């Protein structure tokens, strides 16, 4: 007998091992390398404890009051400290948490906000064309008006972009509702989903929204 008896189990052991190792590698790659896990959920601490929940949610400030480049440029823009001081020279004007903001407005030294949302350098994304053509902020950034600290809500992977680029009708909304993050086609969820399809398609047809899936749409 050339092979001892335990070798009968060898193929099974090898197969099992391969499955375990392969599964481990797959899980590792998924968790460590895919945008769904590497990006979504990212929530850095900002130098100023600014609350979107208070400003955008409770006070109802429009997104565009601070992010004033969003309709003009690819970059939404972060407000200068002088914008903050428009209100905060009256409200909470001695609050120690706002010391950095006051200093910045006075000296011009920028506040080092930590970037949360970022697309890779080879992606040329434009806020302008999305928000002015009925893509709501909420689709990519989530309910920022309910976030105390901003966190990365969606994966921003290429397939995330393509979901909408393949089927804009399921995501589009009237242009004037773009910054109303909680807006729905209807208060009834099933009704809203139905309306999204029918009304969305109407919008797509009326606005001649293209289903841009070729490389040149985002990569140059």
* Sole binder of another protein in the list 56, 63, 81, 169 (CB under 8 A): 81
Least separation in angstroms between CB 216 and another protein: 4
Q: Which of 10, 14, 21, 217 binds another protein (CB under 8 A)?
A: 217
Question: Quick one: which of 155, 150, 46 has its CA closest to 101?
Answer: 46
78 binds another protein (CB under 8 A): yes
By CB under 8 A, is residue 5 in contact with another protein? no
Cβ atoms of 182 and 139 closer than 8 Å: no
3-state secondary structure of 55: helix
Q: Distance between CA 182 and CA 81 in Å, rounded? A: 28
| Nearer to another protein among residue 138 and residue 156 (C-beta) | 156
CA 31 vs. chain centroid, Å, equals 19
DSSP 6: G
Q: Specify whether the backbone of 92 is left (phi greater than 0), alpha (psi in -120 to 50) or beta.
A: left
Task: Quote the least distance from Cβ 25 to another protein, whole Å.
Answer: 13
Our finding on whether 132 is near another protein (CB under 8 A) is: yes
Site residues for another protein per CB under 8 A: 32-33, 38-39, 42-45, 47, 68-69, 71-75, 77-83, 104-115, 118, 121-122, 124, 126, 128-129, 132-134, 174-176, 203, 206-208, 210, 212, 214-217, 219-220
């Amino acid at each position: 007998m050339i092979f001892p008896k335990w070798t009968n189990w060898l193929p099974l052991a090898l197969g099992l091992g391969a499955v375990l190792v392969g599964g481990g590698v797959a899980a590792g790659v998924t968790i460590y390398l895919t945008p769904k896990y590497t990006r979504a959920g990212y929530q850095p601490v900002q130098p100023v404890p600014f609350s979107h929940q208070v400003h955008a949610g409770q006070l109802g400030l429009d997104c565009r009051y601070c992010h004033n480049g969003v309709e003009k440029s690819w970059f939404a823009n972060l407000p200068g400290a002088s914008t903050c001081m428009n209100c905060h020279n009256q409200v909470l004007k001695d609050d120690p948490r706002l010391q950095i903001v006051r200093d910045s407005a006075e000296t011009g030294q920028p506040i080092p906000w930590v970037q949360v949302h970022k697309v890779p350098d080879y992606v040329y994304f434009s806020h302008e064309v999305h928000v002015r053509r009925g893509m709501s902020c909420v689709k990519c950034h989530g309910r920022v008006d309910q976030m105390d600290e901003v966190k990365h809500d969606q994966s921003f992977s290429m397939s995330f972009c393509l979901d909408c680029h393949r089927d804009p009708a399921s995501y589009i909304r009237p242009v004037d509702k773009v910054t109303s993050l909680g807006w729905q086609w209807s208060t009834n969820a099933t009704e809203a989903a139905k309306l999204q399809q029918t009304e969305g398609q109407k919008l797509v047809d009326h606005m001649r929204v293209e289903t841009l899936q070729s490389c040149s749409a985002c990569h140059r």
